């Protein structure tokens, strides 16, 4: 269903009991191949599986920014999010574009593969209610019936968003190595090898 932006009517959203996958794209305007990856994600809005089997999110990292060109959507928090994944995977590199499917790196986009099959795992039912589309009440009933504490995360999603600026791709190296000796606080998570727009096929 669609939600009106004027908050004119109450809204109730309810999930199925089956787990919905989270598809994440780590991207940047300073990455040569990222526009193609972002366009691919945007086309998913026409998929009948959208919201039912997967939810797509795009995170613009900021480690490719420089004085002459900065990604207006870039965020250090998103860069740290990607680095946390790399840490979990015991990977010594970060790449853009980089896809993550339910917490696991997914390289299928580079090979023109379809998205992974939907999970049959039953996680529980999530219900979200709002009278004004500003304040929400969240209720989650886990399939296992456990009484563990859960944290709800919300994200404002939009398709077809564009910035007025253009990235200067010519100044971007295909590979960038950051020294791991005495990193500054800003570059603490950048001790991994960066792969930007690499041809991995």
Q: Are 183 and 190 in contact (CB under 8 A)?
A: yes
pLDDT tens digits, one per residue of 48-100: 999 889 999 999 999 998 878 899 999 999 999 999 999 999 988 889 999 99
pLDDT tens digits, one per residue of 5-58: 555 689 999 999 999 999 999 999 989 999 999 999 999 999 999 988 999 999
Structural domain of residue 42, as residue ranges? 18-110+158-196
Q: Is residue 121 part of a domain?
A: no
Q: Is residue 3 part of a domain?
A: no
Q: Is residue 151 part of a domain?
A: no
Q: Is residue 85 part of a domain?
A: yes
The CA distance from 53 to 15, in Å, is 10
End-to-end, the C-alpha distance of the chain in Å comes to 37
Residue 80, number of CB atoms within 10 A of its CB:
14
Q: Is residue 134 part of a domain?
A: no
Beta bridge partners of 138: 128
Q: 3-state DSSP call for residue 80? A: helix
Q: Is residue 44 part of a domain?
A: yes
- Count up the domains in the chain and report the number: 1
Task: Copy the structure tokens of residue 30.
Answer: 């300073």
What is the value of pTM for the model shown? 0.75
Q: Is residue 84 part of a domain?
A: yes
Q: Is residue 92 part of a domain?
A: yes
Cα–Cα distance list, 125 to 14, 74, 145, 165 (Å): 7, 33, 11, 42
Give the CATH number, domain containing residue 165: 3.40.30
């Amino acid at each position: 269903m669609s939600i009106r932006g004027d908050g004119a009517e109450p809204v109730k959203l309810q999930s199925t009991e089956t787990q919905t996958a989270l598809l994440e794209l780590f991207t940047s305007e300073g990455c040569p191949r990222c526009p193609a990856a972002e366009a691919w994600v945007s086309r998913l809005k026409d998929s009948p599986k959208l919201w039912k089997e997967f939810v797509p999110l795009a995170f613009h990292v900021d480690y490719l920014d420089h004085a002459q060109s900065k990604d207006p959507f870039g965020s250090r928090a998103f860069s740290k999010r990607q680095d946390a994944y790399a840490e979990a995977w015991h990977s010594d590199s970060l790449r853009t574009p980089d896809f993550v499917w339910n917490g696991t790196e997914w390289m299928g986009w580079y090979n023109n593969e379809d998205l992974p099959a939907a999970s049959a795992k039953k996680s529980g039912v999530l219900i979200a209610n709002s009278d004004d589309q500003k304040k929400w009440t969240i209720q989650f009933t886990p399939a296992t019936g456990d009484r563990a504490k859960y944290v709800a995360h919300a994200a404002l999603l939009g398709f077809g968003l564009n910035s007025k600026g253009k990235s200067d791709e010519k100044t971007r190296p295909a590979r960038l190595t950051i020294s791991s000796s005495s990193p500054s606080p800003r570059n603490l998570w950048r001790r991994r090898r960066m792969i930007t727009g690499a041809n991995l096929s």
